[in-house]
Amino acid sequence: MVRLGWIRRQGPLTPVARSLWLQSASRGVLSSLGIRWSAQGAVPSHGLVVSNHLSYLDILIYSAAMPCVFVSKIEVSRWPYFGVAARAGGTIFIDRSSRASAGAVAAEMLQRLKLAVPVLLFPEGTSTDGSDVLRFHPSLFEPAVQTGAPVTAAAVRYVIEGDVPESELCWFGEDPFLPHLWKTLGTPGFSARVVFGAPATYDSRREAARLSHSEVREMRGLVAASGERPIALHTVP
């Protein structure tokens, strides 16, 4: 936060400056907590990034991997630490119970997609236990379709030593936030892995949601595990 104050004194706090601050802050937090992370694939520099969602830790991991602007549910703004960091980092908050909010968020995304940092969206709309990837809601893919911005599918995974299941770190259902955070911070020997796919452009938001969902499931290993045939991915040369 001290560094953010110093950045404010250098000039206007633009969305790009906020995302760069959030990247630095997230790397510092992960380092201080001893949480290891790695990224595989070309890290996007712009466009829309869509990912599965497992935990509040996803925000730290993706922020550390790249400067980006998040689209998050409005409840995140009230979380301890994460809410403060999200607001300071320029997160776009959406009230999923309000159509007006969805329209305002889409309009804001249209502007942010013009920036030299990507916009990151969790299109499942909630976090899960990691056993599958929920259907991607197509509505917020529309700004990328309208602007022709590339869409990059990404997958996050947590690996815990001792063959402990990933779901132990996932925050889902009615699990209270603070007790789960305490348990997470006390879990020894875990790391986070992010995989980025190739960027793609799409002609419709439904196509974008369907194909990027298939790609995320494939990167998570769920397609092979279920015996499904992977869908051919629509990628930019």
The 10s digit of each residue's pLDDT in 96-118 is: 777 778 889 999 999 999 999 99
pLDDT band at 233 (very low <50, low <70, confident <90, very high): very low
pLDDT band at 232 (very low <50, low <70, confident <90, very high): very low
pLDDT band at 229 (very low <50, low <70, confident <90, very high): very low
Residues whose CB falls within 8 Å of the CB of residue 202, separated by 6 or more in sequence, listed in order = 141, 144, 145, 151, 208, 211, 234
Listed residue (150, 65, 59, 73) closest to 113, CA to CA: 150
> Which pLDDT does position 7 carry in this prediction?
55
Across the range 222-237, mean pLDDT stands at: 39
Q: Which has the minimum average pLDDT: 1-10, 35-44, 63-72, 194-203?
A: 1-10
Residues 115, 118, 124, 125, CA torsion sign: negative
> Which pLDDT does position 96 carry in this prediction?
77
Q: pLDDT exceeding 70 applies to what percent of the chain?
A: 88
> Which pLDDT does position 216 carry in this prediction?
97
pLDDT band at 228 (very low <50, low <70, confident <90, very high): very low
Structure tokens at 168: 């132990």
Across the range 52-61, mean pLDDT stands at: 94
Residue 208 confidence (pLDDT) above 70: yes
Across the range 1-21, mean pLDDT stands at: 70
Across the range 139-166, mean pLDDT stands at: 94
Across the range 48-58, mean pLDDT stands at: 96
Q: Between 3.40.1130, 1.10.10, 3.40.30, 3.30.70, what CATH number should domain 2-226 receive? A: 3.40.1130
21 beta partners: none
- pTM for the model stands at 0.86
Listed residue (101, 76, 100) closest to 89, CA to CA: 76
Residues whose CB falls within 8 Å of the CB of residue 32, separated by 6 or more in sequence, listed in order = none
Domain residue spans in the chain?
2-226
Residue 230 confidence (pLDDT) above 90: no
pLDDT band at 42 (very low <50, low <70, confident <90, very high): very high
> Which pLDDT does position 235 carry in this prediction?
32
Looking at per-residue pLDDT, the higher value among 223 and 234 belongs to 223
Is the separation of the CB atoms in 118 and 48 below 8 Å?
yes
Contacts of 80-87 spanning 24+ positions with Cβ under 8 A: 80/177, 80/178, 80/181, 82/56, 84/1, 85/22, 85/25, 85/26, 85/59, 86/59
Tell me the C-alpha to C-alpha distance, in Å, between residue 148 and each of 196, 230, 235: 19, 25, 13
> Which pLDDT does position 146 carry in this prediction?
95
Structure tokens at 150: 């590339």
159 beta partners: 191
> Which pLDDT does position 76 carry in this prediction?
83
